[in-house]
Structure 1
Amino acid sequence: MSRPNASLIALLAILCGLAALVGRVPTAAAADGQRHILVLGRISDDPKIHYEQLKPLLDYVVPRMADVGIREGRVLMARDAQQMASYLRRGQVDWVTETAGTAMLLQQRGGAQPMLLTERDGVSSYRTVFFVRRDSGLKALEDLRGRSVAFQNNASTSAYFVPAIELLRRRMSLSLLLSPMDKPSGGTVGYVFARSELNIGAWVHKRLVDAGTMSALDWNNPARLPVSYRKDLEIIHTTEPVPRALEMVRGDLDPKVQARLREVLMQAAGDPQAAEALRYFFRTTRFMPIDADTRGVLDRLRSGVAEVRADVE
């Protein structure tokens, strides 16, 4: 067999080198090409509705960030917190709007950082209430040992994370029930997911479960808890307040982009051109800085969310 001559070997080496270089150029160009795009993320079970709520504010923000290189905005939905955390770690999402419990989960799992508090309908924080039937004989959280409680779903801050944390801090174990008709074993607090505030109130009222949880805002909202139910119910415990919602950014977002985004959002409440976009954005009334007291609340919430994930789920 004849050996290839030196000229042919040299030519092949040059061609291979060029091929490798060409293969790298699109990747580098694609990475550079993404730097002008601001991606707003949301965990969603209804992407169409949430897109309509998010896009107007994104369209308001993007033109005001041209001085830091932002020229385009995109919305990216995730099916759950695990997928959103992955997007954050991989740099596919820059900014996420979420309720406080899920926001702390994204901080733990995705490296997201709290940027601003979100005030909705003029309210920046809320408390969770535990309630029972007036004729139940239950008067305090400790009375729930061996009883059942209705949460909303495993992503709810006010009707899952916060009440579960409150029970765990009292050294009360939680056990998942198969249905509202199921009963907890031993001295545990049995819990079941009711999917909506209306169901939570109905299940307590009809004695399907012993107690329910929801935000104080929902407790006082007849659309979430009908007056006909509430007259037979009473609150036995109210938690400390937690932020209603948070704007989070990925941990490695360019500091200049983050600073400008924060500035634009904080100024939006005073800009008439932002009014409609804020209304679509979950009825936001303003964005607020996070003070030291709120950071303390978030630290406790983050620790509690981790405990719920480890000990309850």
Structure 2
Amino acid sequence: MIARITLCFAACLAWINASFALAETLNLGTLNEGIRGQMRVFQPLLTYLETDLEDAGITEVRLVVHPSAELMAAAIARKEVDIFIDSPLVVAKVAQLSGGTPFLRNWKGGHAGYYSVIFTHVNSGITALEELRGKRIALEDRDSSSGFIVPAHILLQSGLRLKKLRAPGAAHSGEEVGYFLTYNDKNTMFAVASGRADAGATNQMNYLDLMEARPNDFRLLAISEQFPRSVLMHRPGMSKAQLNSLRQSLTSMSSHQKGRDVLNTFQNSSGFDEFAAGSKYTFAPIFEILQDLEDAGIK
């Protein structure tokens, strides 16, 4: 009798140990200055994934927030972040630093792709990019795809050189385009509207809203090629089984009402899907943009 109890206890202990061995935490990362606001955005998705990935051994899904691409890449390298979600140029930057791989597209705001635009106020008298030489442009921040990385590349491709200004009102002379950071799209648009900047950069959706509100006040100077709206990247070394389970969970969300309800609360997304042309083909020109900026001393 004692032998049977001992055997039963050993079997139960082995089952418990196996369960704990399978139990894992999945960490999702994004860039932001604070975690509270991001938790309100991500919590429904985190809860959904915890339930849906339970059979895959995931018992907890957590959000990790860092303020810069460099800090996020370091966290990924330490395996503190498994999945990173952000705009495409930022994901590419983090992928270069961490060895991660972009693998899914997020239809953020119901859009598969978006554009970066450079615009000016009609009163500036500027009608072409070349006329920004020696002028000021308002850019969002260095980890913004549409508000910094893409427009900076557009300016470089147009033969213009950039110089960072210490402040919006700092003295500026010479041939370079002086840029200052606004850290917010609304601040960028206000800087152009108020004349503090001769031009600014944002995404086409913000620009269309601006044109709807003030249709005769602004002029479009340049528009980029289309880029994926939002991208998911996985860290190197993530198990294929876990990654496949996550991919299946995310790409199937839009096929049922519960998933669609969660997507609606998460960045008003309409779903996750694969890159139509494949990840490598989609990101080849994006990595080239980052290389061009690095060669120009802009990181």
TM-score normalized with structure 2 length: 0.86
- Who is 1:22 aligned against? none
Within the alignment, does 1:168 sit opposite 2:153 as a pair?
no
What does residue 312 of structure 1 align with? 298
Matched, 1:142 2:130: yes
- Corresponding residue SS for 1:285: coil
Q: Which amino acid in the other structure matches residue 298 of structure 1?
A: F
Contact 1:105 1:306 in 2 (8 A): no
Runs (5+) with no aligned partner, structure 2: 1-16
Pairing partner for 2:97 from 105, 109, 116: 109
The 1:66/1:205 distance shift into structure 2, 3 A limit, reads: closer
Runs of 4+ in 1 over 6 A off after TM superposition: none
Q: What is the match of residue 233 of structure 1? A: 218
The structure with the larger Rg is: 1
**Aligned residue for 1:15?**
none
Map 1:200-279; keep pairs closer than 5 Å.
Answer: 200-222=188-210, 227-228=213-214, 230-279=215-264
RMSD: 2.2
> Partners of 2:288 and 2:250 in 1: how far apart?
28
What is the identity percentage for the equivalent residue pairs of Structure 1 and Structure 2? 24
Among 179, 189, 197, the residue aligned to 1:191? 179
Structure 1 residues 2-51: Cα deviation after superposition (integer angstroms, max 9, x where no partner): xxxxxxxxxxxxxxxxxxxxxxxxxxx9xx85862211122221201112
2:106 and 2:271 in contact (8 A); partners too: yes
**Partner residue in 1 for 2:11:** none
> Given the alignment of the two structures, is residue 288 of structure 1 paired with residue 273 of structure 2, yes or no?
yes
Decide whether the 8 Å contact of 1:147 with 1:183 is kept in 2: no
One-letter amino acid of the structure 1 residue matched with residue 257 of structure 2: P
* Offset of residue 265 of structure 1: 0.4
Residue-pair matches, total? 280
User: Deviation of residue 121 (structure 1)?
Assistant: 2.4
Q: Give 1:10-49 correspondences, 5 Å limit.
A: 33=21, 36-49=24-37
Assess if the C-alpha contact under 8 Å between 1:181 and 1:209 holds in 2.
no
Specify whether residues 171 and 35 from structure 1 end up closer, same or farther in structure 2 by C-alpha distance, changes over 3 A only: farther
What does residue 63 of structure 2 align with?
75
Q: 1:231 to 1:103 in 2, by over 3 A?
A: same
Compute the displacement of 1:170 (Å): 2.8
In the TM superposition, what are the counterparts of 1:92-103 in structure 2 within 5 Å?
92-103=80-91
What letter corresponds to residue 264 of structure 2 in structure 1?
A: R
Give the superposition deviation at 1:90: 1.4
Distance across 2 between alignment mates of 1:60 and 1:189: 46
1:262-291, Cα deviation, whole Å (9 max, x unpaired): 111000011211233212321111112112
* 1:178 pairs with 2:166: yes
Does the CA contact (< 8 Å) of 2:102 and 2:233 recur in 1? yes
Residue of structure 2 equivalent to 1:66: 54
Distance 1:241 1:69 in 2: 38
Name structure 1 gaps, 5 residues minimum.
Answer: 1-28
